[in-house]
Structures are given as C-alpha cells and as structure tokens.
Structure 1
C-alpha cells in the first residue's frame, strides 16, 4: 500500500525548492500573458484550475485550453501586476491585479469595451513530488462586473442595450450549478 506524504504545516521546504516553485509560477504567469498555452500547460503534469468565485473547475488539457480561449476572447489584452508572493509548505500564494479590456463575449455577457483592474489571489498547489497540481483562484466577480458596466454611458441607447444584455447574461450565469468537487472538502487535522 502506497501512502501519500502530508507535509507538516509547520515545516517549510528548503530554499531551493521554494525558489524552484516560485520560478515555475512566474514562468506560468509570463506564459499566460504571452498566450503561449503549450508552455503554460507544461507547468502542470495535469492542468487543473479551480475558480472559487464561479464555483467552476477546469480539469485537463482540453478544458483548460477552453478556459484560456474564452477568457482571451473576452479580454484579449489580459495582463497582471504582481502584488506579493508568499510560500507555504505546499503552495505558492500570489496576490495580483488582473487587468483587461472587455472586447469580446464573456460567456453570455456582451462586450462593453470597459477595462477592469481586479485584485485576486491564486494558490499554486504542489504535490509531494513538487508537481504543480492545482491553480486555485479567489476573486470577487461583482468587482469585475461593476467595472465593466460602470464604463457604459447610461444615456446612450446603444450602451443601454449592452447593459441589458450584460444583466441578462449575468443572470443566466448565476443559475449555473456549482462544481460538486469544490464542495468535497476535508477539515485539516490540527492535532499534530
């Protein structure tokens, strides 16, 4: 029987491991901005994203490529500004500003032409073999939506139609079922 090592939450890996993780995450960020999807996906043995605000999981090469495509159709100039990097026994935690101009459909939400700058946190989680196994992203969807809709001229008939379409699209997205994998959580063992 094979057992999986659970890292102690009180013991940090050696500096060389932390530096290697950080380099991998920085390369991952860079490759996302340049839209080099093959390079980005090569940072995972099995690509896996969890978008907590939307309760969505994108698992595997095909789903993650679809996610990349959808977000870059909506925000072709998507970029980021790093705020901070932190290390934990099994993760790199990155705080950053996500930036972009809404020039294409964001799911059912029509393009508004507005920009957003949204503060986010991503946990890049590593397994016991130092493989990146999950990118778990936390952000506030309403912050993005407010910025995208706030740029519309409420006196312009064209922008009012865009606003109506955006509200309709946002409402249709709110009825989506959350991914059940995000509900399957186990409380940590704190008695060690």
Structure 2
C-alpha cells in the first residue's frame, strides 16, 4: 500500500519529468529513470534505453519544436502515477513519414508513469487518439489551393508508410491479467 510520502515523491518526480521535457533538458528527464523506457501505445512503438529515448526526444522536437502540455489531472494508483494532459505544438518538421504541415495541434493524452517495488520509474506508457492528431496536422490543408496538392500527396504517402510498420512485439504479446 502506498503512503503519502511515496505519493508525494512520485508526484514530484513526474512533475519534474514533465517540466524538464518542456525545457528540453534531456539529461534531467533521463535522470528520472534508472533505465529509460517509453511505450507509445497508439503507434505500437517502444523506445528502450538511453540512446533510443534520446532519439525519440530528438525526432519529436524536430517535428514539434514548441511542444508543450497542459495537465488536466493527476492520479495515483498502487504502482503508477496517471496523468491526463493536453499535448500541443506546431508541426514544423517531419513526424515519422508525415512531412511538416505547419499546423497547430492540441491532443488529449494519458501517460502512465509506472514504478517498480523499489520506487524506480520503469516506464512511461502513453495513450492518445492518433486520428485526432492526424486530423489536426493534415486536416487543415486547403485542398482547393493547388500549392497544397503536392504536400497532401506526400502526407498520404507518409501515412501509408507509417500504417505498414510492424508493432513492437512486447506491446502485442502481452500476458493475460490475473484477476482475484
């Protein structure tokens, strides 16, 4: 059973983690994990280890250099801190196979910050609706303007490329829950 001291320590770590991500202080963000590990459930991708997570940070900030968040709620469970938040930014660089559209986005997300028995952060598991994000990134293109036709075609090609990528096996081959 977690107590108030554990809850307070976990909450501070998670809020520091969020703050350091916005500041793009990757060394401080990575210091919140003994072994950095992100799971992006809607994309079925895992970024495991220092180099992989730094690559994820780099790619996401090339795509959205002004990425920020607005926390909606923070909840505690026995082994996690669950944060609901708005993620927002401007699409100024490639996002996977999607070329930059210049569109702003604001997408509601949930992140599970999972702790082990020794109170180490072992995973940040993120859930969001990809269709909401894609509608905001691509949906704002004015297709009546012929200048946007090439960009729209590149976006479609990028989306098709992403749709064909294989999911990470650890996100597909999950054990069944053991319920009381």
2:20 is aligned to 31
Aligned-partner SS, 1:53: helix
Q: Distance in 2 between matches of 1:45 and 1:123?
A: 17
Structure 2 residue 122 is matched with structure 1 residue 133: yes
After TM superposition, the score normalised by the length of structure 2 is 0.97
1:69 is aligned to 58
Q: Distance in 1 between matches of 2:68 and 2:10?
A: 21
1:55 is aligned to 44
Compute the displacement of 1:62 (Å).
0.3
Count residues in correspondence: 180
Match of 1:179 among 168, 175, 179: 168
Q: Distance in 1 between matches of 2:70 and 2:17?
A: 14
Q: Distance in 1 between matches of 2:169 and 2:113?
A: 21
Greater Cα radius of gyration, structure 1 or 2: 1
1:6 is aligned to none
1:17 is aligned to 6
Structure 2 residue 67 is matched with structure 1 residue 81: no
Give unmatched runs, 5+ long, in structure 1: 1-11
After TM superposition, the score normalised by the length of structure 1 is 0.92
Aligned-partner SS, 1:73: helix
Compute the displacement of 1:150 (Å).
1.8
Aligned-partner SS, 2:166: coil
Detail structure 1 runs of 4+ shifted over 4 Å in the superposition. Answer: none
2:110 is aligned to 121
Give unmatched runs, 5+ long, in structure 2: none
CA RMSD between the two structures: 0.9
Q: Distance in 1 between matches of 2:126 and 2:63?
A: 18
Q: Distance in 1 between matches of 2:80 and 2:94?
A: 33
Moved more, 112-121 or 151-160: 151-160
